[in-house]
Amino acid sequence: MASSETANTRQVPVMMCRYFSAVLAAALLLVVATGIPPAVAQGAGNWSTDLDLKPPPGSAATPQESPATGPGRAGQRPAAGGAGTTVVKKKTNEPPLQEGMARLTLVALLTADGQRIEQDLVWRIFEESREPRTAGKLIGTHKIASPVLTLPPGTYTINAAFGRANLTRKITVAAGVEATEPFVLNAGGLRVRLAAAASGMESMKAFFDILSDERDQSGERRIIFSHAKPDTVIRLNSGIYHVVSTLGDANATVESDVTVESGKLTEATISHKAGRVTLKLVTRQGGEALPDTEWSVLTEEGTSVKTSVGALPTHILAPGKYVAVAKSQGRVFRRAFEIANGETIQVEVMRQ
């Protein structure tokens, strides 16, 4: 009897295993019959989210509009994520226009073909002036590419500046109107380079001034940009400009007219002719330079070229003939000298 009970007990697990196997097989047949697809990895391209990911610590802050002019334009670049990170811009919409107000979107174009300027812009908005030839009150400054302004109806003077290139327009807006105003700056770039011969002689002390092509009633040109460094791109409105390049701090200058075209970079190479001179007041030939000496460099005609104070002043001069004048302890000493292009000389003035 005990033997029979033991046999029955051993058969229970076997029957249960057969039962669950049958259930599992039936479930699999049901899956196949109903066409339920197996699970697959979903591509990131099919995801949708409205999350606005914050930039990592230390990243540059996004420029903000001033409260007086309304919300900024959507489409600013999101913060860059790391490898495998998907940055999604938050979907935003402009709020409803306030009753009695106007909305104006400003866009700057490099040329008339529609190439937009996306950085380094400064917008200034002025109220209408009641006095001719004078600017009204400044009511807003924006340093983003395309500001969106909410303004009361009226006439405004708006200036768009891109480097030294700029455009000023008068714009009238009406209540309830939403408009986009393009500003075609017709801007180009100018880069001045030094020729190899000049670049080896105090090139760090070289600079150039950009002046207008036209002259005023006094015959003077208007200064557009002063003390620009070589190899620097200066943004300008298209047109003709007069460039004055100076090597050193004296009279080694070169002047030239250049033409800047819209949407193009104009490169001008300047070739200077100059020499370097060091002045020295001594009591004997080859002696030690005397300190606290006042110096003047004059042309042969007596025109002052450069003044300085010290024991060993050094200047870059245009090739030619000069007179070195040294003043020490109430006495004046002179010596004529000549310098050629590319020459480096030392002029000793004897104190006798």
The string over 96-116, giving b where at least 16 C-beta atoms fall within 10 Å of a residue's C-beta and e elsewhere, is: eeeeebbbbebbbbbbeeeee
Domains 187-270 and 275-350 share a fold: yes
Q: Where does 98-184 sit in CATH, by number?
A: 2.60.40.1120
pLDDT at residue 155 greater than cutoff 80: yes
pLDDT band at 112 (very low <50, low <70, confident <90, very high): confident
* Average of per-residue pLDDT values in the chain: 78
Instruction: Quote the CA–CA distance of 129 and 168 in Å, as a whole number.
Output: 14
pLDDT band at 202 (very low <50, low <70, confident <90, very high): low
Instruction: Quote the CA–CA distance of 147 and 69 in Å, as a whole number.
Output: 9
**Beta-carbon-side half-sphere exposure of residue 139 (alpha carbons within 13 Å):** 19
Range from 63-67, 148-152, 318-322, 331-335 carrying the lowest mean pLDDT: 63-67
Instruction: Quote the CA–CA distance of 63 and 313 in Å, as a whole number.
Output: 49
Alpha-carbon dihedral angle through residues 40, 43, 49, 51, given to the nearest 10 degrees: 110
Q: Where does 187-270 sit in CATH, by number?
A: 2.60.40.1120
Residue 164 near residue 224, CB atoms below 8 Å: yes
pTM of the entire predicted model? 0.65
Q: Tell me the fold of 275-350.
A: Immunoglobulin-like (2.60.40)
Q: Show me where the domains of the chain are located.
A: 98-184, 187-270, 275-350
Residue 109 near residue 34, CB atoms below 8 Å: no
Range from 59-63, 217-221, 235-239, 268-272 carrying the lowest mean pLDDT: 59-63
Closest by CA to 349, choosing from 320, 324, 319, is 324
Residue 351 near residue 326, CB atoms below 8 Å: yes
